[in-house]
Amino acid sequence: MHFELLIRKDIINNLQIMCQMDLDKMSNKSNFFLNIKYAMVAQLISLVSSVLTTLLFPRILGIADFGFWQLFVFYSGFAGVFHFGLNDGIYLKNGGKDYQELDFNRIGSQLKLSLLIQLIISAFIIITAISTISESNRLFVIIAFSLYIIIFNTHGFLGLILQTTNQAHSLARSIILDKMIFLVLILLSIIFSIENLRIFIFIFFIGKLCSLFYIMSLGRKIIFSKTIKFKLNLINFYYDMKIGIFLMIANITSTLILGFGKFLVDFRWDIITFGQVSFAISLTTIVLLFINQIGLVIFPALSSLDDQNQKKYFSFIQIFLSLFLPFTYLTYYLLEFILNFWLPNINQSLLYLILFLPVCIFNSRMSLLSTTFLKAMRKEKALLFINVLFSTLSLILTLIAAYLLNNLILVLLSLIFSTWIRNVVSEIYLSKILNEKCLSFILKDAFIAVIFVLVTWFTSSIISGIIILCISLVNIYVNKQKLFELILIYKK
């Protein structure tokens, strides 16, 4: 199942689960790594859910219906557009406050206004879809997405309030509740042979609604607060939206680098091809899940550090990724073995996976280095500019590949190039701010990515696997001095 945007949605929903926990102590090494371990454990249930649905749904639903499931999950990743930055603004504005210190009337009034706006938007999308779409499954997906906008943004609003007021564990419980209900009901439906696209989407909604009701019970003071005057509420809404709009757009445009390509695959080719491409992307996002969680824990630590200590963390992460991230390519051969046995009819997705694993590597560097550090330095506008620039590049290249050249592989290669060049520019920009070097890391990543694609595409899995393993080991040996530096930085 394509969980790139679903997982991104889950990540946005529980963004920085550890964000406000003991900020003053985060620079302490033991607490820092303890929080990384905690974040990984907290996301274990999401990983299990992602793996099971990714492996089960293609086999159960069939290729066409699985493509529509992927389409629903893909659209749902853009639900966050419709809070227009309000949720992020509320979060940034109230960071570090105690829950009892919040202005409940102001925040509650904004929640109600936001809910009203999303109800209007959802109704408009549903009416438009009914009037223009004849294909029943596609229409059902659009209607489901429209309803999900309301659930997602309401949960996100209250969830970010919990995070910013040091109640992240309650938010984590709501996510676990959602995932457990989803998994249990899906397994029951499979046991009783209820294997239907619409039933699975309905089950998805049950988990999300239970999670929303739980988090609403924790935010009763906000929900049942007194509503302030409409004009004042509009002013406050605009002010807080203005604070968060840059971060919201930066997050959305980041997903559009791959998103434009997926939109074009859906429009230019068919739902089966879309499902195959999305399935390949979903496999890489499973690899990315833990890496992203590390970034969520690093963010609050960096926010409380001075420039010198930020440079130390930057060097540590840069060296670590340079030495060990290439081993991620070896997951391809494990996935190939599993999928050839479990899903023998999706060989085409394995070819696409060869192209998307480098994207996984580049996005990992972007997530742990550029995005995390630029947010910690409050350079959201720079992050926004970079994401908009290379989302536009992605759109132009994929349009040329899809409509002028009519070549799906070139569409996917355009996504690789756009992702890589975005990572290059952002890392160079960040390195200049921190007065660090990065060119050797960038060139080496590109070299290994090209070698992986070529040897895996044109040779057998055994030969290419041995070559990639040797390159990864040689990389560590050649850079053993950097490994010693990594150990020294860790000890300090």
Percent of all residues in the chain with a pLDDT value above 70, rounded to a whole number: 83
Q: 436 — phi, psi (to 5°)?
A: -120, 165
Stretch 438-458: mean pLDDT? 87
**Taking the model in full, what pTM does it have?**
0.73
Domain boundaries, the chain: 1-257, 305-492
Average pLDDT over residues 244-268: 79
Does 106 have pLDDT greater than 80?
yes
Which tokens go with 387?
A: 């994401």
Count of Cβ atoms closer than 10 Å to residue 329 Cβ: 25
For range 441-446, the mean pLDDT: 84
Average confidence score pLDDT of the chain: 79
- Residue 421, pLDDT > 60, answer yes
If phi > 0 it is left, if psi is from -120 to 50 it is alpha, else beta; for residue 378 that is left
Report the range of poorest mean pLDDT among 14-18, 83-87, 126-130, 352-356: 14-18
Residue 95 confidence (pLDDT): 64
pLDDT digits (tens, 9 = 90+) for 377-389: 777 778 888 888 8
Tens of pLDDT along 304-356? Answer: 555 666 667 777 777 777 788 888 888 888 888 888 877 777 777 888 888 88
Distance CA 245, CA 418 (A): 24
Q: How far is CA 435 from the centre of its chain?
A: 29
- Is the separation of the CB atoms in 254 and 387 below 8 Å? yes
Position 481 pLDDT exceeds 50: yes
Average pLDDT estimate for 61-84 = 84
The residue type found at 286 is I
pLDDT tens digits for range 458-470:
888 889 999 999 9
Neighbours of 31 (CB within 10 A): 16
φ, ψ (nearest 5 deg) of residue 223: -65, -40
Average pLDDT rounded to a whole number, residues 73-95: 81
- Which residues, including other chains, have CB under 8 Å from residue 96's CB and lie 6 or more apart? 20, 23, 164
Would you call 17 helix, strand, or coil by DSSP? coil
Query: Please, are residues 80 and 12 in contact by the beta-carbon 8 Å criterion?
Result: yes
Question: Binning pLDDT at 50, 70 and 90, where does residue 139 land?
Answer: very high
When pLDDT is cut at 50, 70 and 90, the band that residue 17 belongs to is very low
